[in-house]
């Protein structure tokens, strides 16, 4: 089952990493080649030249092993990966991969439990975990059985090699004719080579004991020269092949793999006896030279890896500082949270592109980075939880205002109801944001109730409040402005414009549903006819109003101009990418300004009624 990650924690856990690899120290050989003269016993000096201990390949820590990263996998994908691993014929050699999947699974499980909180049943997570445990426990039991078999097999091999040594020792004690002794010695050597690995702790002792008796055999058995030379030639042929293989490995760019293969060659080299004296030093120097090249490249590889890890640590430290700075910022708006989230996501991408830090510091620097990310997203969650609660409370308040407006819209007590609507509109402005999907719907509902009341009130207005007559007067004034002939004299034209503006203000209110259209027609006519209208308008508006009514009218006119400006801005923003937040901001301002216009209009009309 795939659990969904919360939206504010996208890519939070993209930064999960395995442990830094264990670095094996390069081996070096110090060799002193021996010499053998005719008639002297032959010794296998090369046998002790390389002291590399055997090891299990699956236990080696290599760079390739460490690059496996399952932190971006879902729970379902991790369960599926472990199920596939359980079917792999090589699964007994994949213990590190199995443990990496297990670690990633439980990290992901803990993370999703914490994120889900009480919104998801604990039984779901228990079911997922139990499903994973079935595969993991089956694999663990199978591997335990496998390890037990391997250990038993190594113990058996040890016993077999001890038996071979016993046979070799008995052969030394026979003192029989060489024609009978040497073939038996060869058979003992073949048996030794055919036996598999022994327990690591017994390897050196059993091998040294075997080599001791081999050397004693060459010392004690009086082998004829023909058979000895044949043995030397066979050993030389094999060791020349070993040299060719080592030289090919020395040319390889796969440094770690080449070093591991070299260890195997050294182990096989020790299994064979000496070569003729005249070739002994040359063949060993050739093999040793290839070994030195591989060791040098291996050492340089890990030194370079350490340098890179130090650089990676510095780069990751800088990213930690960036995230910590963002996590500590004072963020108060949803837009700012989104901007900061994008910054965090970009930093996380950078983090994933950087390799491992030093072994000592890798986990520490990761924990620091994760803590900073967690701090940021925890704060973001807290903000949106509070913001959501606030919006839901605002929603309830606005629903109550809609219900109050709808109950009041049929009232014919014009003065009293007007004051009540003004109060409702003021309360509406003071209430904060509501969920976006409800905002437009609620505003239309509230606006519809207000419009219905004011339209009905306008139709039943007193004769002195002739709204339709005012509309005709304003339409006539717009026509006069359009018909005006510019004289070219600045002072004369400015005075004419000011007269038009004064007449416009003196005309009373128009029907509520017509006010936006006539205001826009007036502004467009003024702007077309008088290029400097804006400056004159500001000068005109700057004059101190004489009465409260004039002050309200002046504020009303200014709000009309602001609305036009906001609408023009929306047209401008629409041509830009990523402008949706700005457009919403302008729309909010327009709606608030229109609501304030309606309130001002009501107040102005109320003053007119009193006059």
pLDDT tens figures, 478-526: 998 888 888 888 888 888 888 888 888 888 777 777 888 888 999 888 8
Question: Which residue is listed with tokens 């983090």?
Answer: 351
The pLDDT assigned to 292 comes to 94
Would the pLDDT of 64 be above 60?
A: no
In whole angstroms, what is the distance from residue 312 CA to residue 66 CA? 15
Would the pLDDT of 192 be above 90?
A: yes
In whole angstroms, what is the distance from residue 72 CA to residue 55 CA? 33
- Burial degree of 274 (CB within 10 A; 0-12, 13-18, 19+): buried
Contact by Cβ (8 Å): 589, 548? no
Q: Which of 123-127, 221-225, 284-288, 532-536 has the highest mean pLDDT?
A: 284-288
- Calculate ∠ Cα 524-525-531, nearest 5°: 85
Q: Which of 27-36, 126-135, 205-214 has the highest mean pLDDT?
A: 205-214
* Each residue's pLDDT tens digit, 65-114: 445 678 788 888 888 888 888 888 888 878 888 888 889 889 888 888 88
* Each residue's pLDDT tens digit, 544-589: 455 777 778 878 877 777 776 676 566 545 444 455 666 777 788 8
The pLDDT assigned to 607 comes to 74
* 552 Cβ contact partners less than 8 Å away, ≥ 6 residues apart: 600, 603, 604, 607
The pLDDT assigned to 9 comes to 31
* Each residue's pLDDT tens digit, 361-374: 888 889 989 998 99
The pLDDT assigned to 225 comes to 64
The pLDDT assigned to 60 comes to 41
Characterize 491-521 residue by residue with b for buried, 16 or more Cβ atoms within 10 angstroms of its Cβ, and e for exposed: eebbebbeebbeebeebbbbbbebbeebbeb
Q: For residue 540, what pLDDT band results from cuts at 50, 70 and 90?
A: low
Long-range contacts of 369-372 (CB under 8 A, 24+ apart): 369/15, 369/316, 369/319, 369/320, 369/323, 370/15, 372/320, 372/323, 372/324, 372/327
Q: How far is CA 14 from CA 267, 349, 502, in A?
A: 43, 8, 66
Would the pLDDT of 330 be above 60?
A: yes
Q: Which of residues 405 and 573 earns the better pLDDT score?
A: 405
* 123 Cβ contact partners less than 8 Å away, ≥ 6 residues apart: none
The pLDDT assigned to 244 comes to 92
Hey, what are 466's tokens? 């002739």
- CA-based max dimension of the chain: 147
- Burial degree of 548 (CB within 10 A; 0-12, 13-18, 19+): exposed
In percent, the amount of the chain with pLDDT more than 90 equals 13
The pLDDT assigned to 15 comes to 33
Mean pLDDT of the chain: 77
Sketch the domain layout of the chain as residue ranges.
Answer: 394-610
C-beta neighbour count of 247 within 10 angstroms: 15
Would the pLDDT of 463 be above 80?
A: no
Q: What are phi and psi of 430, to 5 degrees?
A: -75, -20
The pLDDT assigned to 546 comes to 57
Over residues 17-26, the mean pLDDT reads: 31
Q: Which of 14-28, 119-133, 472-486 has the highest mean pLDDT?
A: 472-486
The pLDDT assigned to 360 comes to 82
Q: For residue 243, what pLDDT band results from cuts at 50, 70 and 90?
A: very high
The pLDDT assigned to 8 comes to 32
* Each residue's pLDDT tens digit, 416-447: 888 888 888 888 888 877 887 888 888 988 88
Considering only 206-210, 239-243, 326-330, 475-479, which range has the smallest mean pLDDT?
Answer: 326-330
The pLDDT assigned to 409 comes to 85
Considering only 10-14, 388-392, 411-415, which range has the smallest mean pLDDT?
Answer: 10-14
Q: For residue 40, what pLDDT band results from cuts at 50, 70 and 90?
A: very low
In percent, the amount of the chain with pLDDT more than 70 equals 79
Q: For residue 6, what pLDDT band results from cuts at 50, 70 and 90?
A: very low
Over residues 525-544, the mean pLDDT reads: 66
The pLDDT assigned to 162 comes to 93
Over residues 150-175, the mean pLDDT reads: 89
The pLDDT assigned to 429 comes to 83
């Amino acid at each position: 089952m795939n659990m969904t990650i919360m939206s504010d924690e996208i890519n939070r856990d993209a930064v999960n990493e395995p442990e830094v690899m264990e670095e094996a120290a390069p081996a070096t050989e110090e060799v002193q080649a021996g010499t053998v003269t005719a008639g002297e016993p032959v010794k296998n000096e090369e046998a002790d030249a390389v002291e590399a201990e055997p090891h299990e390949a699956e236990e080696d820590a290599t760079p390739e092993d460490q690059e496996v990263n399952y932190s971006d996998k879902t729970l379902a994908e991790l369960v599926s990966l472990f199920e596939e691993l359980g079917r792999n014929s090589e699964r007994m050699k994949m213990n590190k991969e199995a443990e990496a999947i297990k670690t990633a699974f439980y990290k992901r499980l803990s993370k999703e439990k914490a994120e889900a909180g009480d919104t998801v049943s604990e039984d779901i997570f228990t079911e997922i975990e139990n499903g994973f445990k079935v595969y993991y426990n089956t694999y663990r039991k199978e591997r335990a059985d496998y390890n037990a078999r391997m250990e038993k097999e190594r113990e058996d091999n040890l016993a077999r090699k001890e038996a071979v040594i016993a046979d070799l020792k008995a052969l030394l004690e026979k003192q029989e004719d060489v024609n009978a002794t040497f073939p038996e010695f060869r058979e003992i050597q073949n048996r030794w080579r055919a036996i598999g690995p022994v327990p690591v702790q017994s390897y050196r002792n059993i091998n040294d004991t075997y080599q001791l008796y081999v050397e004693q055999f060459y010392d004690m058995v009086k082998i004829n020269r023909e058979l000895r030379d044949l043995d030397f030639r066979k050993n030389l042929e094999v060791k020349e092949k070993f040299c060719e293989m080592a030289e090919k490995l020395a040319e390889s760019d796969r440094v770690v793999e080449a070093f591991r293969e070299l260890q195997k060659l050294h182990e096989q080299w020790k299994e064979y006896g000496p070569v003729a004296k005249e070739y002994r030093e040359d063949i060993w120097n050739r093999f040793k030279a290839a070994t030195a090249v591989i060791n040098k490249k291996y050492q340089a590889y890990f030194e370079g890896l350490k340098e890179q890890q130090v650089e990676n640590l510095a780069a990751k430290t800088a990213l930690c500082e960036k995230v910590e700075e963002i996590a500590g910022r004072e963020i108060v708006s949803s837009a700012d949270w989104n901007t900061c989230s994008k910054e965090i996501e970009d930093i996380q991408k950078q983090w994933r592109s950087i390799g491992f830090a030093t072994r000592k510091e890798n986990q520490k620097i990761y924990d620091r980075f994760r803590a900073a990310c967690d701090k940021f997203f925890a704060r973001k969650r807290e903000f949106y939880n509070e913001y959501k609660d606030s919006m839901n409370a605002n929603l309830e308040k606005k629903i109550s205002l809609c219900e109050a407006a709808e109950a009041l819209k049929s009232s014919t007590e014009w003065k009293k109801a007007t004051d009540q609507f003004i109060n409702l509109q003021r309360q509406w402005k003071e209430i904060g944001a509501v969920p976006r999907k409800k905002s437009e719907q609620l505003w239309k509902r509230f606006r519809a109730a207000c419009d219905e009341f004011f339209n009905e009130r306008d139709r039943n207005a007193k004769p002195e409040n002739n709204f339709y007559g005012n509309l005709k007067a304003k339409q006539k004034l717009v026509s006069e402005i359009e018909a005006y002939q510019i004289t070219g004299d600045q002072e004369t034209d400015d005075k004419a414009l000011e007269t038009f503006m004064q007449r416009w203000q003196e005309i009373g209110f128009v029907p509520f549903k017509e006010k936006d259209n006539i205001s826009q027609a007036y502004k467009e006519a003024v702007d077309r006819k008088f290029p400097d209208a804006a400056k004159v308008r500001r000068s005109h508006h700057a004059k101190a109003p004489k009465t409260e009514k004039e002050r309200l009218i002046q504020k009303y006119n200014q709000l009309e101009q602001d609305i036009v400006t906001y609408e023009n801005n929306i047209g401008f923003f629409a041509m830009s990418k990523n402008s949706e937040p700005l457009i919403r901001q302008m729309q909010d301002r327009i709606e608030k300004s229109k609501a304030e216009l309606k309130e001002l209009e009501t107040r102005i009309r109320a003053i007119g009624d009193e006059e």
